[in-house]
Chains A and B, each alone.
Chain A
Amino acid sequence: MEKELKERKQVARIFRNLIPIIIFLVIWELCPRLGILNKNMIPPFSDAIVALKDMIVSLEIFRHLGWSLYRAVLGFSLALVIGIPLGTAIGWNEKIREFLSPLLTLFGNVSPIALFPFFIIVFGIGEVSKIGIVFWGCLWPMFMNTISGVSHSDKALIKAARTMGASKKTVLFSVVIPNALPEIYPGIKLSVSNSILMLCAGEMLGATAGLGYLISYSQQIFEMSKMYASIIIIALLGLAFTAILNTVEKRVFAWKFNNEK
């Protein structure tokens, strides 16, 4: 009986969440049709869906999606693989951390988009500079949060582990990193959202394929429906990533929500 009630409540909640979106889409559909919005600038929602359908049928969308995903995933992975180990090393050593802190704060605050011309000069306009921009945008949140999380290690936990016979390696992997994870994870979430951001920016400024390119190109040749269709895809991509991150979070941090296993 209780489970039924819970399920019905969940369904009701999903409906409630969808209503504002549906209202928004209805407005988007009607306003251009009624002339409230300029049909040439902002075609109705259904036109965007038709353009999307065409791109799926012609397989065009998959080519661009593939390129975008490749750049985003590669840039993010590089940032992960470098940012977290390096952040751990720096966070662990107080002297190094204090020494580097002003420099890192400076670098971390430089907007990656501002650095884009620099990337182009150094790496050219090929893939390297695009992936480089994504990498740079993803690196800083994870890197800084890891440094912070590791530097806030709970000394009592480390003492307990060491006294019980844990090696330094065990302390690092079984105590320090799990302890730092609640601080590292928000950094990872931010990095993931930055990856899409940087990806779009990079692709708009110089690419021949990808969702960002598609948006920019569609706008330039004035195929508005296609442009909005591409924007919708990017939004869905972001939603998908967020959903994955939240699911992982519920699993990994079950202990924070006071759940039983």
Chain B
Amino acid sequence: MSNEKVVIDNVSYSYKEDKKTQESLDAIKDVNFTVNEGEIVTIVGPSGCGKSTLLDIISGMLRPTKGEVKIDGNRVTGPGKDLGIVQQGYALFPWRTVLENIEFGLEIRQIPQKERREIAKKYIRKVGLGGYENKYPDSLSGGMKQRVSIARAMSYKPKLLIMDEPFAALDPRTREVMQNELLYLSRSEKPTILFVTHDVREAVLLSDKIVVMTGGPGSVKAIIDVKFPEERKIEDIVTLKEFDELEKKIRKLYGNPNEIPNDAVF
């Protein structure tokens, strides 16, 4: 019980779509799951399944119509200081150097300047960007930008790190490199991560737990535990039989893209 870092308790969100008929539309319905401390939990689901709405509720930007989100036992009522976020578009401040970007979260928490520098420099090295301290984001590649984004979000050790399709904009090779790096980082830091992706394979590779969501309205179809060895490397995992089985299982739940609906006419 004390291991639970984030509890999503029966969360629903509906909004009035049509002002005339006052009909409300459910964006998400009865979502239940927990993220334990140090876990990587991945939400997998098709577009429009309400993932963004759920993330907005967890980060306090949106109030659920029903249910609640608790972080460390405290109910989330608005944006707070517990979270970190890494987004698909990196969202780096172009007018700040790499170092200054990483310091942003520390500035907000009023860490004194000298300490801030030290911590930021430490994280630059952790993500392998030593030497790039004074570069501006514009001169970095996509993968490097994402590393800065990760360093920025981790530097103040948030209670929950939200990663919203962070590697989706990267080329496949860089994506694999980043996945490995995330695993490596998470081993030393043990952050609590809520990861969102479309990529079933990525979910199986990275997670301790996978939450499969379906759309219309968004709800949890299944929660699957993933048990690969701690010290896993991606090239080793993909050879395991369990990996294939898990991937197939989730694809089935997720909906097979190769299936053509009965009433489709081509």
A residues neighboring B (CB under 8 Å) = 154, 156-157, 159-167, 170, 174-175, 178-179, 181, 254-256, 258-261
Query: For the complex, what is the distance from the CA of A254 to the CA of B82, rounded to whole Å?
Result: 33
Given that A255-B94, A258-B136, A261-B134 are known contacts, is A165 also in contact with B61, CB under 8 Å in the complex?
no
Asked whether, in the complex, the Cβ of B83 is within 8 Å of the Cβ of A165, the reply is: yes
B residues neighboring A (CB under 8 Å) = 59, 61, 79-85, 87, 89, 91, 93-97, 104-105, 107-109, 134-136, 138-139, 152-153, 156, 158, 162
Return chain B residues, CB-CB under 8 Å to A170: 108
One of A154, A163, A166, A258 near B138 (C-beta < 8 A): A258
Query: For the complex, what is the distance from the CA of A161 to the CA of B94, rounded to whole Å?
Result: 13
Return chain A residues, CB-CB under 8 Å to B158: 164
One of B89, B96, B139, B153 near A164 (C-beta < 8 A): B153
Return chain A residues, CB-CB under 8 Å to B162: 163
Return chain B residues, CB-CB under 8 Å to A163: 59, 61, 79, 83-85, 162
Asked whether, in the complex, the Cβ of B134 is within 8 Å of the Cβ of A260, the reply is: yes
Query: For the complex, what is the distance from the CA of A179 to the CA of B156, rounded to whole Å?
Result: 24
One of A156, A159, A165 near B108 (C-beta < 8 A): A165
Query: For the complex, what is the distance from the CA of A120 to the CA of B81, rounded to whole Å?
Result: 55
Asked whether, in the complex, the Cβ of A165 is within 8 Å of the Cβ of B87, the reply is: no
One of B79, B81, B91, B107 near A156 (C-beta < 8 A): B91
Query: For the complex, what is the distance from the CA of A71 to the CA of B87, rounded to whole Å?
Result: 49
Given that A156-B87, A160-B87, A178-B93 are known contacts, is A165 also in contact with B136, CB under 8 Å in the complex?
no
- Min CB–CB distance A226 → chain B (angstroms): 47
Query: For the complex, what is the distance from the CA of A154 to the CA of B107, rounded to whole Å?
Result: 21
Given that A164-B83, A165-B80, A260-B135 are known contacts, is A255 also in contact with B95, CB under 8 Å in the complex?
yes
Closest 7 A/B residue pairs (Cβ): A165-B81, A160-B91, A163-B85, A255-B136, A156-B91, A261-B134, A164-B105
Given that A156-B87, A178-B93 are known contacts, is A165 also in contact with B135, CB under 8 Å in the complex?
no
B99 closest partner in A (C-beta)? A261
- Min CB–CB distance A255 → chain B (angstroms): 4
